[in-house]
Chains A and B, each alone.
Chain A
Amino acid sequence: MLDTARIRPDFPLLARQENGQRLVYLDNAATSQKPRKVIEAIVHYYTFHNANVHRGAYALAVEATDAYEAARTAVARFVNAWAREGVVFTRGTTESINLVAASWGRTNVRRGDTVVVTAMDHHSNIVPWQILCQEKGATLRMVEITGDGRIDLADFGRALEAKPKLVAFPYVSNSLGTVNPAAQLIKLAHSAGAVTVVDGAQSSPHLQVDVQELDCDFYALSGHKMLAPMGSGALIAKPALLEAMPPYHGGGEMIERVWDDRSSWNKIPHKFEGGTPNVEAAVGLGAAIAYLEQLGMERVAAHEQELARIAVDRLSQIDGVTVYGPPDHRAGVVPFTYGDIHPHDLATILDKDGVCIRAGHHCTQPLMRRLGVAATARASFYIYNDVDDIDALVTAVRKAGELFGVPA
C-alpha cells in the first residue's frame, strides 16, 4: 500500500479538525482534496506567468501559452492519447460529454437512430443523450445491470442489435464502484458500428488508463476528482473524429478567419476551445498529473482496491449493513445502507465524528430505482486514506446503529 504517512502532509486541508476530531475525508468520488504542489502551481502561474494565451506577441503571453500547452501534453501522456491535438480542455466530464452530444451527436444522430447508455451511468452521461434524442426523434436505450452491480452483457448485446449510432458507458461507476470491462464493451460496440463514449470521471483518478488500448472514440475526465482544481477537465478523442466535427462554442480562439457572414475554423483542438480558457485549471491539472505519475497509477489503484476490500469486509460484519456493488472488479467506492437508517441521517451522525461520506442518489437516479433504494451512503477512498480511516468509519457507523436502535 501507499505510504500515507508521507502523502497526508502534502494535503493542507487534511490537517483540519472536524468537530474537534481528525478529518476523515471519504467523499473522494465527489471530489478529491488538493496537494500543496497543485495549489502552488496555481499561485506560481498567477505570480509569474499570467497573460492571455495564444494571442500576445510578448514574452509573458508566450510563457502563459507554454504553460497551458504543457498541461495538454501532460494529459495526453497520462491517458496515452492518440495525439496532443486530440486533447480538448473542458470544464470537466459534464462539459466533455455535452460537447460530444452537441457536436458529434447533432451531426450524426438522426430520427429513428438509437443511442445506448447504461443504467449505472451518472446523470451527466444520460441527460445530454436524452436531450439529443428528444431533439432528433432518436431512441435512447438504457442497458440493464445485473443483481451484483455489473453491466448486463446479455442486455448490452441485445441493445447492440439496434445498430446504435453511439454507445456511452462509465469505465468506473461512481455509485457502485464497478470497474467495467471497457475494452470488451468498446469492441462489441464497434462491431455493431457504434461510436463509443467512455465516461472516465471515476477511472482517471484511480486507474492506469490507456485510451489507445481501450480503443474508445471519446473519453471524458474531470480534473477535480484527481487532485486538480475544479473547472479543469478534458475530452480526449480520436483526432479524425474531432476534425470532422462542427465547433461547439463560437467565439474567439476557435476561428481561423471571420468574414461578415461566416467563418472558418481553427485547427483542432482549438476549434473546440472558444473564448479565454481556464489556464489556471489546466496548469493545476498538469501539476496533479505529475503528482500522480510520481506515485504510479498502478500503485494508486492497488492501494484503493485494498482499502475498499477491507471496508467491504468490515462493514459487512455489522448486522443490518448491506453493501452494494460487485465483490470483485471494484474501485475504491463502497456504497452501503444500514437497517432502516436513512443515509442522510447516517451522514449527519458520521460527520459528528469527523467522517465525511456522501448520502443520496449520487446523480444516478435510474440506478437507485433498480437497486430499490431512494439513497445510499457512500464511502470512497483516495491516496491519502488508510486503515485508520476505515476504523473511524466503522466505529461511527456502529454508533449510528446504537443511536437509532437498529435491531442487531
Chain B
Amino acid sequence: MSSPPPDLSELYQQVILDHNRNPRNFKRIESAKCKAEGNNPLCGDRIQLYVQLDDDTISDVGFQMPQGSGCAISKASASLMTEAVKGKRIGDAEEMFEAFRTMLAGGANAPGKLAAFSGVRAFPSRIKCANLAWHALHAALQGSAAPVTTESARDF
C-alpha cells in the first residue's frame, strides 16, 4: 500500500524555487487581445493571463497573481509556461499543454524545463496548482470569456 515517500526536493526543484522567487513575464499587458482568469478555489490561487497574438504566433505573454494568491507551484508553473510559449504558434502551445498534462497524469516528461514539474505527480493535491496557468492559457487562446476554475476543468 505504501510506496516510498516522495521527496520534497523533487517537488521543489531549484528551477521551481527560482521561478517562484523571480517570476518571468510577471506583467500586465494592457493591449493584449486574449486574456483569461484562472482560479483554484482549493487554495485560493488566482491568475490573470495576458496573451498578445501576431497572426497565430504568441508574440508576448504575461501573468499576474494578486498579492499572496499564488503558491510556489502555480507561480513557477505560470512563469515557466510563459517562457515556453513565447514566440510559439498557437498550435504548438496547445501541444505543449497536452504534453504537460500528460506528464502530470503519469505519462512521459514534457520537453525542456517543463520537465521540472514531473515531481508534482507524487503530490496529487498539487497537480491543480501546476495546471492552473495552462488552463488559463488554453482559455485565453480559445477566447473564452468565463474564468476557468480548476474545479470544473475535466482532467483533474
What is the interface of chain A, defined by CB distance below 8 A to chain B? Answer: 19-20, 340-345, 348-349, 352, 359-361, 368, 372-375, 403-405
Q: How far is the CB of A253 from chain B (nearest CB, A)?
A: 35
Distance A360 CA – B46 CA, assembled complex (angstroms)? 13
Are the C-beta atoms of A375 and B44 separated by less than 8 Å?
Answer: yes
| Contact yes or no, B11 A342, CB < 8 A | no
Among candidates B21, B67, B129, residue contacting A344 with C-beta atoms closer than 8 Å: B129
Q: Would you call B69 and A374 a contact (CB within 8 A)?
A: yes
Q: A374-B44, A404-B17 are in contact. List 17 more A-B contacts (CB 8 A).
A: A19-B5, A340-B68, A341-B72, A342-B43, A342-B71, A343-B43, A344-B71, A345-B72, A348-B123, A368-B44, A372-B67, A373-B68, A374-B66, A375-B69, A403-B8, A403-B12, A404-B12
In the complex, what distance in Å separates the CA atom of A328 from the CA atom of B47?
37
Please, how many angstroms separate the alpha-carbon atoms of A398 and B21 in the complex?
18
Shortest C-beta distance, A235 to chain B (Å), equals 28
Measured between beta carbons, the chain B residues less than 8 angstroms from A403 are 8, 12, 17
Q: Nearest chain A CB to B111's CB is how many angstroms away?
A: 26
With CB as the reference atom, state the residue of chain A lying closest to B12.
Answer: A403
Residues of A within 8 A of B5 (CB): 19-20, 352
**B42 contacts A360, CB within 8 Å?**
yes
Q: Which chain A positions have C-beta within 8 A of B44?
A: 360-361, 368, 374-375
Q: Could you tell me the distance between the alpha carbons of A342 and B44 in the complex, rounded to whole angstroms?
A: 10
Number of contacting residues on B, CB 8 A? 23
Which residues of B lie under 8 Å from residue A352 when comparing CB positions? 5, 8
Chain B stretch 48-70: residues in CB contact (< 8 A) with chain A: 66-70
A345 to B17, CA, bound (A): 11
CA distance A360 to B44 in the complex (A): 7
Q: Which of B42, B46, B69, B71 contacts A345 (CB 8 A)?
A: B71
Q: Chain A residues with Cβ under 8 A from B70's Cβ?
A: 342
> Interface of B with A (CB < 8 Å)?
5, 8, 11-12, 17, 21, 42-46, 66-73, 123, 125-126, 129
> Which of A340, A345, A375 has the most chain B CB within a 10 Å cutoff?
A345
| B69 adjacent to A348 (CB under 8 Å) | no
Q: In whole angstroms, how far apart are the Cα atoms of A199 and B67 in the complex?
A: 31
- Determine which of A349, A359, A368, A374 lies in contact with B8 in the assembled complex, contact meaning CB atoms within 8 Å: A349
Q: Which residues of B contact A19 (CB under 8 A)?
A: 5
Q: CA A255 – CA B53 in complex, angstroms?
A: 65
Contact A348 B125 (CB under 8 A): yes
Kindly list chain A residues whose C-beta atoms are within 8 Å of the C-beta of B125: 348
Smallest Cβ-Cβ distance to A17: which chain B residue = B2
B76 to chain A, nearest CB (A): 10
A193 and B126 CA atoms in complex are apart in Å by 49
Nearest CB of B to A188, in Å = 34
CB distance from B13 to the nearest CB of A (A): 11
A349 to B46, alpha carbons, bound, how many Å?
Answer: 21
Closest CB-CB distance, B48 to chain A, in whole Å?
A: 14
A361's nearest neighbour on chain B, judged by CB, is B44
What's the least CB distance linking A342 to chain B, in Å? 4
6 A-B pairs with the lowest CB-CB distances in the bound complex, closest first: A342-B71, A374-B69, A19-B5, A344-B71, A344-B43, A374-B44
In whole angstroms, what is the CA distance A343 to B123 when docked?
A: 15
CA distance A361 to B129 in the complex (A): 16
Nearest A residue to B67 by beta-carbon distance?
Answer: A374
Q: Which residue on chain A has the smallest CB distance to residue B40?
A: A344
Tell me which of A343, A345, A374 contacts B73 (CB under 8 A). Answer: A345
* CB pair A375 B68 closer than 8 Å: yes
CA distance A338 to B115 in the complex (A): 28
Q: How far is the CB of B112 from chain A (nearest CB, A)?
A: 24
Nearest CB on A from B147, distance (A) = 16
Q: How far is the CA of A259 from the CA of B71 in the complex (A)?
A: 59
Contacts of B67 in A (CB 8 A): 372, 374
List chain A residues, Cβ under 8 A from B45. Answer: 344, 374
Contact of B72 among A20, A342, A368, A375 (CB under 8 A): A342
Q: Roughly how many angstroms separate A405 CA and B125 CA in the complex, as a whole number?
A: 23
Q: Can you list 24 A-B contacts with CB-CB less than 8 angstroms, sorted by A residue number? A: A19-B5, A20-B5, A341-B72, A342-B70, A342-B71, A342-B72, A343-B43, A344-B45, A344-B71, A345-B12, A345-B73, A348-B123, A368-B44, A374-B46, A374-B67, A374-B69, A375-B44, A375-B69, A403-B8, A403-B12, A404-B12, A404-B17, A405-B17, A405-B21
